[in-house]
Amino acid sequence: MSRIGKKPVVIPQGIEVNIQDNEISVKGPKGTLVFEHNPQVKVEAKDGTIIVAILKKTKQAPAIWGTTARIISNMITGVSQGFSKKLELNGVGYRMNLQGKKLTLALGFSHPVEKEIPEGLEIKIEQNTVTISGIDKQRVGQFTAELRALKPVEPYKGKGFRYAGEIVRKKEGKKVVSST
């Protein structure tokens, strides 16, 4: 049984939630998000809270129950506050530039890497740190992961993309044994 699904999702002041059939739309100061939930759960709004309940007793229903509750909670947080993630780029000669709706990266390859910025995401570059922000938690996390996958931090010199605050354990290089 899901403990997360039992907790009601509180709707803060200034957030508008509409529930029609299997579709939930959340509107707030930062924008609007729409989610179509699984028919195995029932979503209803009561007294400034959203309650998610299981309709069908299946094996997946408890997991879907908790997931639906957290997705709705993330939608409310997204339209009211938004989400952001930071990546740090370390390495000599590694650079990032923002050109319109494209992010141009020099990552030590023979060519510059261009990454299209998805609709609804905002990018800010400060020195060697890129901040990705938006109202949809999944899209922010996915784009951040795709950027990091272009040049993940390597364990010998620590070059590449790392999340802000991430600690990378460095490995020791090969030992040279002198033959005397």
Sequential pLDDT tens for the chain (180 residues)? 568 888 899 999 999 999 998 999 999 999 999 999 999 999 999 888 999 999 888 888 888 999 999 999 999 999 999 999 999 999 888 999 999 899 999 998 999 999 999 999 999 999 899 999 999 999 999 999 999 999 999 888 889 999 998 888 888 888 887 776
Q: What's the alpha-carbon Rg for the chain, to the nearest Å?
A: 22
Length of the chain: 180
Structural domains for the chain:
9-80 (3.90.930.12), 83-163 (3.90.930.12)
Residues 6+ apart with CB under 8 A from 49: 8, 9, 10, 11
d(CA 133, CA 68) in angstroms, rounded, equals 23
Q: What is the rounded CA–CA span in Å between residue 114 and residue 110?
A: 13
- What is the pLDDT, as a whole number, of residue 158? 87
Residue 180: its pLDDT value, please? 65
